[in-house]
């Protein structure tokens, strides 16, 4: 009896496994263009929505659901023959300016990778210069936004035109010129910077109940993060760097040893409420709040918009992460009247930076005499109870003790 000849199928289908970010394990991914091997084979790149880590598609998945001999180099066409899914207009303009367009869409796609490569090189160069992660992240985002609006990063005059047309604040444009100056310095180039003088503005100081509304309406992780900002006045980036080893749960103490912007290390006494909220979070990571700054900010914006609509309070839309810091500084000066204490609390290097909150406090609480709650105590037990809730001794007369506390 003869054996049946095996028939080889025209194509094979492999079992598909959902991709995960190799950095944080998340399945929430964006497709982020292609990179090309030396033989021209495209490899899909991904961007993690949780931690912003970029990585390539595993090699074993390249032939998933493809027929033998099928051309996988096809690309989607966009405007006027330019590639839609591989390069933006700014990238293609940069390619034409540098003479690297190559032939067809593949050339533009390779140019897109060249430009992204320059950005990655810039990130590593900034890291070697000792710049903070916060500065690196902001500079890269600014350069990408300039490219998105058609700026040719190798043409300073074109960048100036793009900056002039952008509807951004003077402060943002000032920082964007600093970012582009650093980018040119990496390439050994220079330019005549446009003049964008920083104009200091009075920050928005919300009511405490508005901050509490945002905290109460957020999920467990975001609520703990916002409560931490409210009690300590940390910058958001500093709070995201905190590790579980930085918290002494027994003494209710939080230590910040990695400040941003060259600030001073600080130590905070936390309330039982904050310690309980932090202790309820899962301890699966070294950091208390794993994930990226952008992911946390995106989650906060969604919650803020929903609560502003639900509570019919548009003022909530003006609150951002840094608003908690402004509020904390103003309230602490209002309680202590000590600018040096507020300076140390915020980690400022210069007292001039802290003086802004003195001006705000004087305006918000100009009726100082009406901002106190006064209590009278007659027995030692009453005095002890009032001192425990924050009242201060004022004077004693006719056997009665007068105490007061700021409202």
Q: How confident is the model at residue 89 (pLDDT cuts 50, 70, 90)?
A: very low
pLDDT band at 337 (very low <50, low <70, confident <90, very high): confident
- Please tell me the predicted confidence (pLDDT) of residue 368: 52
User: Do 269 and 223 meet the contact criterion of CB atoms below 8 Å apart?
Assistant: no
Distance CA 112, CA 93 (A): 10
Phi-psi group of 52: left, alpha or beta (phi > 0 → left; psi -120 to 50 → alpha; rest → beta): left
What is the DSSP secondary structure assignment for residue 15, as one 8-state letter?
P
Decide: helix, strand or coil at residue 180.
helix
Q: Do the Cβ atoms of 346 and 233 come closer than 8 Å?
A: yes
Q: Which pLDDT score is estimated for 62?
A: 44
Bridge-based pairing state of the strands 42-48 and 29-36: antiparallel
Strand partners, 44: 34
Note the pLDDT of residue 133.
78
CA distances (Å), 46 to each of 28, 31, 149, 196, 366, in order?
10, 5, 23, 36, 54
Alpha-carbon distance 227 to 279, whole Å?
13
Residue 267 clears pLDDT 70, i.e. is over it = yes
CB 401 within 8 A of CB 377: yes
pLDDT of amino acid 112: 56
Q: Please give the Cα distance from 69 to 240 (Å, whole number).
A: 49
3-state secondary structure of 79: helix
pLDDT category, 271, cuts 50, 70, 90? very high
Residue that is written with structure tokens 């993690």 in the block: 48
251 or 115: which carries more pLDDT confidence?
A: 251
Indicate yes or no: pTM above 0.75: no
DSSP-derived letter for residue 9 is P
Residue 314 confidence (pLDDT) = 96
Straight-line distance from the first to the last Cα atom of the chain, in angstroms, rounded to the nearest whole number: 99
What is the C-alpha to C-alpha distance for residues 388 and 374, in angstroms, rounded to an integer?
15
What pLDDT, in 10s, does the model give residues 164-221?
Answer: 999 888 888 999 999 999 999 998 888 998 988 877 788 999 999 999 999 999 999 9
Residue 10 to residue 138: CA distance in whole angstroms: 50
Q: Measured over all CA atoms, what is the biggest interatomic distance in the chain, rounded to whole angstroms?
A: 121
Query: Across all residues in the chain, what is the average pLDDT?
Result: 80
């Amino acid at each position: 009896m003869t054996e049946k000849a095996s028939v080889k199928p025209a194509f094979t289908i492999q079992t598909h496994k959902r991709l995960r970010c190799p950095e944080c394990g998340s399945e929430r991914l964006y497709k982020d263009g292609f990179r090309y091997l030396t033989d021209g084979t495209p490899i899909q790149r991904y961007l993690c929505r949780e931690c912003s880590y970029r990585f390539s598609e595993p090699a074993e998945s390249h032939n998933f659901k493809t027929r033998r001999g099928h051309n996988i180099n096809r690309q989607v066409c966009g405007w006027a023959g330019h590639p839609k899914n591989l390069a933006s207009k700014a990238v293609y303009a940069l390619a034409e300016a540098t003479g690297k367009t190559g032939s067809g869409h593949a050339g533009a796609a390779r140019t897109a990778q060249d430009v992204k490569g320059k950005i990655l090189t810039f990130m590593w160069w900034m890291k070697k210069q000792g710049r903070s992660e916060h500065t690196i992240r902001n500079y890269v985002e600014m350069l990408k936004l300039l490219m998105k609006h058609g700026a040719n990063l190798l043409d300073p005059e074109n960048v100036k035109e793009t900056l002039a047309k952008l509807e951004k604040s003077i402060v943002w444009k000032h920082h964007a010129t600093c970012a582009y100056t650093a980018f040119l310095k990496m390439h050994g180039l220079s330019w005549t910077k446009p003049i964008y003088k920083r104009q200091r503005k009075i920050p928005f100081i919300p009511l405490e109940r508005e901050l509490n509304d945002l905290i109460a309406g957020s999920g467990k992780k975001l609520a703990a993060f916002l409560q931490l900002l409210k009690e300590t006045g940390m910058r958001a980036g500093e709070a995201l760097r905190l590790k579980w080893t930085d918290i002494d749960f027994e003494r209710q103490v939080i230590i910040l040893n990695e400040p941003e912007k060259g600030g001073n290390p600080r130590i905070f006494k936390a309330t039982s409420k904050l310690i309980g909220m932090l202790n309820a979070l899962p301890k699966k990571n070294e950091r208390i709040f794993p994930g990226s700054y952008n992911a946390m900010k995106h989650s906060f914006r969604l919650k803020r918009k929903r609560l502003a609509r639900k509570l019919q309070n548009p003022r909530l839309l003006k609150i951002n992460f840094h608003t908690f810091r402004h509020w904390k500084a103003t309230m602490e000066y209002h309680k202590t009247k000590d600018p040096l204490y507020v300076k140390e609390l915020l980690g400022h290097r210069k007292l001039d930076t802290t003086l802004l909150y003195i001006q705000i406090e004087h305006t918000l609480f100009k009726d100082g005499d009406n901002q106190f709650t006064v209590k009278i105590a007659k027995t030692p037990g009453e005095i002890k109870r009032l001192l425990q809730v924050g009242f201060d001794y004022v004077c004693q007369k006719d056997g009665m003790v007068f105490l007061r506390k700021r409202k």
